[in-house]
């Protein structure tokens, strides 16, 4: 529900595994900073090719790292996430995907246009919003 409410340009994913190629997250982040997250710079049709998925995820995490440092003056455990990218891409590892989703969410609520994203998040159902808030507290 987070992606559906916060990022209006997306076809929201129906499952967490749909995020394992990085495409939806890259498109979402392009609403925050096209300079850092140009969705034309990644492979959109990776299919079951885990190597292409991993390349997308690696680029996504590296660009997030640059964005966090350059724009947000924040840091996170990017190296740990990068070290698990192959497993995340191969197995659609939920923990690996959630670690990246957490970075995306923190970027949305910390960016220059945070009010826009926070207001959109208020549209998330009460039950999911509570879970999402707990999730974010771990990432901040």
The region, left, alpha or beta by phi > 0 then psi within -120 to 50, assigned to residue 28 is alpha
The whole-number pLDDT of residue 56 equals 97
The whole-number pLDDT of residue 53 equals 96
DSSP 71: I
For 21, the token pair is: 């190629």
126 band by pLDDT with thresholds 50, 70 and 90 = confident
101 or 139, higher pLDDT: 101
Question: Mean pLDDT throughout 102-113?
Answer: 93
Please answer whether residues 121 and 135 qualify as being in contact, where contact means their C-beta atoms are separated by less than 8 angstroms: no
The whole-number pLDDT of residue 77 equals 94
123 or 50, higher pLDDT: 50
| C-alpha–C-alpha distance, residues 48 and 32, integer Å | 28
Each residue of 23-50: pLDDT tens digit?
999 999 999 999 999 999 999 999 899 9
Phi/psi at 13 (nearest 5 deg)? -70, 145
| C-alpha–C-alpha distance, residues 3 and 11, integer Å | 9
The whole-number pLDDT of residue 78 equals 97
The whole-number pLDDT of residue 14 equals 85
The whole-number pLDDT of residue 137 equals 65
The whole-number pLDDT of residue 11 equals 80
The whole-number pLDDT of residue 32 equals 95
Maximum distance among all Cα pairs of the chain, rounded to whole angstroms:
38
Share of the chain above pLDDT 70, in %: 96
């Amino acid at each position: 529900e987070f992606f559906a409410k916060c990022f209006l340009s997306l076809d929201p994913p129906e499952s967490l595994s749909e995020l394992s190629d990085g495409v939806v997250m890259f498109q979402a982040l392009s609403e925050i900073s096209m300079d850092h997250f140009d969705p034309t710079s990644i492979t959109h049709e990776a299919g079951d090719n885990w190597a292409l998925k991993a390349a997308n995820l690696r680029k996504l995490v590296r660009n997030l790292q640059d964005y966090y440092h350059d724009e947000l003056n924040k840091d996170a455990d990017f190296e740990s996430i990068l070290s698990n990218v192959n497993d995340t891409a191969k197995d659609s590892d939920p923990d690996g995907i959630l670690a990246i989703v957490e970075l995306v969410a923190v970027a949305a609520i910390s960016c220059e246009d945070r009010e826009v994203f926070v207001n959109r998040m208020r549209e998330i159902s009460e039950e999911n919003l509570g879970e999402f808030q707990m999730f974010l507290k771990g990432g901040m």
